[in-house]
Structures are given as C-alpha cells and as structure tokens.
C-alpha cells in the first residue's frame, strides 16, 4: 500500500495507524491474563519487551516517512509531514481525553469492558 501524496492525509493515516496500534495493545493488556497470572519474573520482562517493540513501531510510524522525504531532498515536505503527524496525533489524544471525561461524568467508566 502506498501513502497518498497529500501530506495532511498522509499525516492523518500515519497518526491513525499509531492510534489503532495503541488501542490494540491496550485491549490485549486489559483482556489478557498473561500480564497478571504469569510467573512473577516474566511479567516485567514481557512489559519491557512490549515497550521496546512499541517504541520501534511508533518510531517507524512517526519518523520513517519524514526521514524518507528528507533523504529525497524534500526537506520542507519532511518537516510538514512530521508536523501533520504530530497535529493529528494530538487531536486524537485530546479526543480520547474528552471521551474519558464525558464517560466519567455520565458514569460509564469501565462499564463496557465489565460486560465482556
């Protein structure tokens, strides 16, 4: 799959991919007994390995595209793409924060996952 040439849309798709990855990992941690019922020594090992893997994935999603553009001598486009990725990710961050506040005010905290 190739990303669109439009830097705004490209930044949106890369930030959305990061959000989807974060939601997937969060769902895995929330619903997997391996994080709470495994051998005591392996719990921190698993968490640290997941952290290293996640940093690598986020590094690729956030920085590979801008670095690629920079290496092609498209320095302005590289900075614009990086800026758009961060802008879209910040918008997603604020949206999740607002959803959490609204859910808390309405008394929905954790109710969805307790029914699963």
Q: Where are the domains of the chain?
A: 7-111
pLDDT band, very low/low/confident/very high, at 26 (cuts 50, 70, 90): confident
Tens digits of residue pLDDT in 70-92:
999 999 999 999 999 999 999 99
pLDDT at 9 (0 to 100): 94
Mean of per-residue pLDDT scores for the chain: 86
Check the CA dihedral 51-53-58-64 and report its sign. positive
Interatomic CA distance for residues 55 and 20, integer angstroms: 15
pLDDT at 103 (0 to 100): 85
Please tell me what DSSP assigns to residue 11: H
Tens digits of residue pLDDT in 32-52:
765 666 667 777 888 899 999
């Amino acid at each position: 799959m190739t990303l669109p040439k439009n830097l705004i849309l490209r930044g949106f798709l890369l930030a959305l991919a990061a959000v989807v990855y974060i939601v997937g990992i969060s769902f895995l941690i929330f619903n997997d007994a391996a994080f709470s019922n495994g051998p005591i020594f392996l719990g921190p090992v698993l968490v640290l390995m997941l952290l290293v893997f996640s940093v690598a994935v986020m590094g690729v999603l956030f920085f590979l595209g801008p670095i690629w553009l920079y290496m092609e001598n498209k320095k302005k486009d590289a900075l614009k793409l990086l800026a758009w990725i961060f802008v879209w990710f910040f918008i997603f961050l604020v949206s999740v924060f607002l959803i959490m506040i609204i859910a808390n005010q309405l008394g929905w905290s954790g109710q969805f996952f307790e029914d699963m």
